[in-house]
Amino acid sequence: MAEQGTYVEPGREYTRDTRYIETRITADGRDGYPVEAGRYRLVAARACPWANRSIIVRRLLGLEDAISMGLSGPTHDARSWTFDLDPGGVDPVLGIERLQQAYFARTPDYPRGITVPAIVDIPSGAVVTNNYPQITLDFSTEWTAYHRDGAPDLYPEHLRDEIDEVAGLVYRDVNNGVYRCGFAGSQEAYEKAYDQLFSRIDWLEERLATQRYLVGDTITEADVRLFTTLARFDAVYHGHFKCNRSKLSEMPVLWAYARDLFTTPGFGDTIDFAQIKEHYYVVHRDVNPNGIIPKGPDLAGWLEPHHREQLGGRPFGDGTPPGPVPADEQVPAHATPLH
C-alpha cells in the first residue's frame, strides 16, 4: 500500500486506514465483475509487502495467463504509485502513467490512499478492488476454473477458521505492528507497538518450533501473509522502523522458517530486495530525511540450509510446485540471492 503524505503524526499512535473498495470479482459475478480470463490486470509493486502477497498467490496458483500483472516502480510521490519501470513510464496494457488514473476512472477524485495491490478492469480502465486481504482469498476460492494443474489449496475449507485466527493475530502484531513501530508519533506508542511485535514473534517462534507451517502441514494463506513481512525484516524493519530487539537472522526458528519459504518456488522468486530498500528508505522521508539507502544486509544467508523438512509437512499438499517464472516477470539477478 502507499501511505501518502505524512507518515508520522507527532504524539499519536499510527493507525492504518483500512477502508478499501470492497467490490469482489467472483465466479457468479454478483458484484458485476465475473471471473473472466484476460479481463483484469493486477497492479502490484514488488516493494510493498501487501502487494507481494498477491504476486505470490497468483504465481502459486498459476493464474499468470488468466490475470495479467502490471508493476509500479518502487517509489511514489504524494499522489500515486507510477509505472516508472515501463517504457515511457506508461503501463502497456492500461495506457496510464499513474495508478491514480484507474482509481479516478472508478471514483472521480477518489479521496483515500492510492494503494497496491489493485485489480483493474481492463475494458473500463477502472479499479475493481484494492481490498488486499480479500484479493488473495478470492484468487484461491473464486478463480478455481483457471488454477494450474497441481495448484495447492491455500485456503482449505476445514482450516479456514484457524487460518483466519492466526492471520488476524499476525496482521495486528507483526504485519501492521512493524508500521506501528516505524510510524509511531510518541515514545509511548512506539514502545507499546514494539512490545506487541516481539511478544507475537516469541509466540511464532514457539508455534513453529514443532510444525513446519503455521496451520496444518501445508503452505496456506497464513504463511504467505507472514512471509512478506519476514522477508523485509532485516533489510528494512530492524533499522528503519526501529524493530531492533533482534534481527530475523538471530531468531533461530523464524529465520529457518523464512528460508524454507524463500527457497520454495513462488516465494523467494518474487522478492526484489533492491526495490524493497529503495521504497522504504527513499519514500519515508520523515523517518529517513536524507533518503540514503543502506548497502546491507548480506543476502547470502537466505540460501543457507534450513533443515525444516525434518519437521515433515508437504509444502504443496497433493499439488506440485509452480513452474519457472515467466521471463517477463523475473526479478533482476542483482536484486536476489537466488540467481
pLDDT tens column, 122-134: 999 999 999 999 9
- State whether the Cα torsion 101-287-298-55 is positive or negative: negative
Q: How many CB atoms lie within 10 A of CB 19?
A: 10
Domain tally for the chain? 1
Full domain range(s) for residue 174 = 157-335
57 pLDDT higher than 60: yes
1 pLDDT higher than 70: no
Is residue 176 assigned to a domain? Answer: yes
Tens digits of per-residue pLDDT, 34-52?
999 999 999 999 999 999 9
The identity of residue 227, as a single letter, is F
Q: What is the pLDDT of residue 114?
A: 95
Is residue 38 assigned to a domain? Answer: no
Distance CA 16, CA 261 (A): 27
Decide if 214 contacts 207 (C-beta within 8 A).
yes
Distance CA 48, CA 57 (A): 15
Q: What is the pLDDT of residue 4?
A: 41
- Per-residue pLDDT, averaged over 220-241, amounts to 98
- Per-residue pLDDT, averaged over 303-323, amounts to 97
Q: What is the pLDDT of residue 53?
A: 98
Pairwise pLDDT comparison (84 vs 4), residue with the higher score:
84
Q: What CATH number has the domain bearing residue 296?
A: 1.20.1050.10
Distance CA 176, CA 154 (A): 22
Q: How confident is the model at residue 327 (pLDDT cuts 50, 70, 90)?
A: very high
Is residue 106 assigned to a domain? Answer: no
Q: What is the pLDDT of residue 18?
A: 87
Cα distances (Å, whole numbers) of residue 91 to 84, 136, 171, 247, 278: 9, 23, 31, 37, 21
Q: Please give the mean pLDDT across all residues of the chain.
A: 96
- Per-residue pLDDT, averaged over 140-158, amounts to 98
Percent of the chain with pLDDT over 70: 98
Percent of the chain with pLDDT over 90: 92
Tens digits of per-residue pLDDT, 191-218?
999 999 999 999 999 999 999 999 999 9
Q: Which residue numbers are catalytic?
A: 48, 179
Q: How confident is the model at residue 338 (pLDDT cuts 50, 70, 90)?
A: confident
- Per-residue pLDDT, averaged over 2-17, amounts to 72
Write out the binding residues: 81
Decide if 317 contacts 153 (C-beta within 8 A).
yes
Q: How confident is the model at residue 79 (pLDDT cuts 50, 70, 90)?
A: confident
Is residue 100 assigned to a domain? Answer: no
Is residue 215 assigned to a domain? Answer: yes
Is residue 327 assigned to a domain? Answer: yes
- Per-residue pLDDT, averaged over 111-130, amounts to 97
Write out the binding residues for glutathione: 81
Is residue 218 assigned to a domain? Answer: yes
Is residue 244 assigned to a domain? Answer: yes
Q: How confident is the model at residue 6 (pLDDT cuts 50, 70, 90)?
A: low
240 pLDDT higher than 60: yes
Closest CA to 326 of 68, 21, 100, 6: 68
Beta-sheet strand order (sheet of 118-121): 68-71, 40-44, 118-121, 126-129
